[in-house]
């Protein structure tokens, strides 16, 4: 299978980037998208050219490292699919595939397709923990949690922190990510002790990182590979109001 890649190349955060064209042959339609990039990089090595920098870890849709914009969509053409789970059978012989990094002021480009998403880590540091006694694990049924609450918390916890929501939002807002991280712990009895402080601190850090404001367009929900819904945002706003009242 022959495809043409147009890939964003940028040496570092201060340099000017540009799309460079690469004609590739020998792509197998069973290859994952990242394997196709590996294949392209191997050919660049043989030509003594600099390889394309891109991020990945699990290649199983879990870690959130691999996000890029493919033909204008974060993570490519399919819903609920990360870049690493995308396969070349989603493209046709002779296609031109444009690959760009996630773009946002709070995600500076480190090199080529790799962006610095440490702003997300700093938001999590503000409240992504609970207070629990040390020692052996408590008996599983000592804290009863209804199925509805546990399911809803797990839905929010499905966020893999890839940044597709930020890259897709016209305001580069991180509200979908932040709300998922706040809600999944605040819903559970184990997260109640820090509930209000968690909400205030994580929202404060999100603003400090200069992500844009949310205008509730819903674009983030459409492109989220983990299916995080914008109902999380409404819930976070209600929690923020309550936290302001009680803190
Ligand atoms: S490499 Fe881990 S989610 Fe894609």
- In the chain, where the domains are located: 3-111, 117-246
Contacts of the segment 189-196: beta carbons below 8 A, 24+ positions apart: 189/143, 189/145, 190/130, 190/132, 190/143, 191/130, 193/130, 193/131, 194/127, 194/129, 194/130, 194/131, 195/239, 195/243, 196/242, 196/243, 196/246, 196/247
Angle subtended at Cα 140 by Cα 138 and Cα 141, rounded to the nearest 5 degrees: 115
User: Which one of 32, 33, 55, 65 would you pick to mutate in the ligand 1 pocket, going by the greatest count of ligand atoms within 8 A of its CB?
Assistant: 65
Q: Residue 104 Cα, ligand 1 centroid: separation in angstroms?
A: 20
Report pLDDT digits (tens) over 47-103.
999 999 999 999 999 999 999 999 999 999 999 999 999 999 999 999 999 999 999
Shortest-distance Cα residue to atom 3 of ligand 1: 61
* Domain 117-246 CATH class label: mainly alpha
Q: What is the pLDDT averaged over residues 140-159? A: 94
3-state secondary structure of 245: helix
Q: Residue 154 Cα, ligand 1 centroid: separation in angstroms?
A: 19
Ligand 1 first shell, C-beta below 6 A: 56-59, 61-66, 82-84, 160
Q: What is the model's pLDDT at position 247?
A: 77
Q: Closest Cα to residue 83, out of 100, 96, 103?
A: 100
Q: What is the model's pLDDT at position 16?
A: 96
Q: What is the model's pLDDT at position 64?
A: 97
Q: What is the pLDDT averaged over residues 176-182? A: 98
CATH architecture of 3-111: Roll (3.10)
């Amino acid at each position: 299978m022959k495809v043409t890649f147009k890939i964003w190349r940028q040496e570092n955060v201060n340099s000017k980037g540009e799309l460079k064209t690469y004609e590739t042959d020998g792509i197998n339609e069973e290859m994952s998208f990242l394997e196709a990039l590996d294949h392209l990089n191997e050919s660049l090595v043989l030509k003594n050219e600099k390889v394309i920098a891109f991020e990945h870890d699990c290649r199983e849709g879990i870690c959130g490292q691999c996000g890029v914009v493919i033909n204008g969509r974060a993570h490519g053409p399919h819903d609920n699919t990360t870049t690493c789970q995308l396969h070349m059978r989603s493209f046709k012989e002779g296609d031109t595939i444009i690959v760009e990094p996630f773009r946002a002021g709070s995600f500076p480009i480190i090199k080529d397709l790799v962006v610095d998403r440490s702003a997300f880590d700093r938001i999590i540091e503000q409240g992504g923990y609970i207070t629990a006694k040390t020692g052996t694990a408590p008996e599983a049924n000592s804290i009863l949690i209804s199925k509805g609450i546990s399911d809803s918390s797990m839905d929010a916890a499905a966020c893999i922190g890839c940044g597709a929501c930020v890259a897709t939002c016209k305001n580069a807002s991180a509200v979908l990510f932040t709300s998922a991280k706040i809600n999944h712990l605040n819903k559970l009895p184990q997260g109640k002790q820090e509930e209000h402080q968690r909400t205030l601190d994580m929202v404060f850090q999100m603003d400090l990182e200069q992500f844009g404001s949310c205008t509730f367009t819903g674009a983030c929900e459409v492109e989220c590979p983990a299916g995080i819904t914008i109902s999380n945002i409404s819930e976070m706003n209600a929690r923020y109001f309550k936290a302001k009242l009680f803190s």
